[in-house]
Amino acid sequence: MDTASLQRRCSAKSMDSANIFSNGASKAGAAGIKRINGFDATPPNIVLINCDDLGQGDPGCYGNPTLRTPNIDRLADQGARFTDFYASSPLCTPSRASLLTGRYAIRTGLAFPLQPQGQRRLRKASISLGRALSRLGICDTIRENRVDGIPDKEITIAEALKVAGYRTGMVGKWHLGDYSHKPEHHPMRHGFDELFGTPMSNDELPNALYQNETMLEKDIGLDQARLTGLSIREAVRFIEGNTDKQPFFLYLAPHAPHLPLFASKKFKDKSAGGIYGDVVEELDWGVGQVMQCLKDKGLEENTIVIFQSDNGPWYEGHPGQKHRGRKGQSYEGGFQIPMIVRWPVNIPAGSVCRIPAMNIDIFPTLLAAAGLELPNERVIDGKDILGLLTGEQDQTPHDVFYFYHVHDLEGVRVGDWKYYREISHYVWPIPVDKPNTFLGKLYRDDFLGTWPNLYNLATDPGENYDLASRYPEKCDEMEKIMRDWSREIENNPGGWL
Query: Catalytic residue numbers?
Result: 92, 175
Closest CA to 440 of 420, 423, 453: 423
Q: Which residues contact 141 (CB under 8 A, 6 or more apart)?
A: 130, 131, 133, 134
Contact assessment for residue 92 and residue 363, using Cβ atoms and an 8 Å cutoff: no
DSSP 8-class letter at 309: E
DSSP 423-471: -----SS-SS--TTSHHHHHTTTSS-S-S-EEEETTT-TT--S--TTT-
Largest CA distance in the chain: 68
Contact assessment for residue 405 and residue 325, using Cβ atoms and an 8 Å cutoff: no
> How many CA atoms, within 13 angstroms, populate the side-chain half-sphere of residue 213?
13
Contact assessment for residue 37 and residue 319, using Cβ atoms and an 8 Å cutoff: no
Q: Is 139 left (phi over 0), alpha (psi -120 to 50) or beta?
A: beta
Q: Which residues contact 256 (CB under 8 A, 6 or more apart)?
A: 51, 52, 54, 227, 228, 279, 280, 282, 283
Residue 248: Cβ-neighbour burial (10 angstroms; 0-12, 13-18, 19+): buried
3-state helix, strand, coil in the chain (%, to 5): 30, 15, 55
Closest CA to 157 of 284, 255, 27: 27
The number of angstroms, rounded, from the C-alpha of 277 to the middle of its chain's C-alpha atoms is: 21
Q: What's the CA gap between 43 and 34, in Å, rounded?
A: 14
Contact assessment for residue 137 and residue 400, using Cβ atoms and an 8 Å cutoff: no
Closest CA to 317 of 352, 281, 286, 360: 281
Residues in the chain: 497
